[in-house]
Amino acid sequence: MIIIAGTIEIDPEKRQAALTAGRDLEAATRRQPGCLDYVWTIDGLSESTIYVYERWESEEALAAHFKGPNYNGMRAVLGSYGLRGANVAKHRIDISEPVYDPAGTPRPDFFTAP
Is the per-residue pLDDT at 82 higher than 90?
A: no
For the segment 38-42, the average pLDDT, to the nearest whole number, is 95
The per-residue pLDDT for 62 is 98
For residues 74 and 64, give the distance between their C-alpha atoms in angstroms, rounded to a whole number: 15
The per-residue pLDDT for 48 is 96
What domains appear along the chain, each with residue ranges and CATH number?
2-92 (3.30.70.100)
- Give burial (CB, 10 Å; 0-12/13-18/19+) of 70: buried
Is the per-residue pLDDT at 87 higher than 90?
A: yes
pLDDT band at residue 94 using 50, 70 and 90 as cut-offs: confident
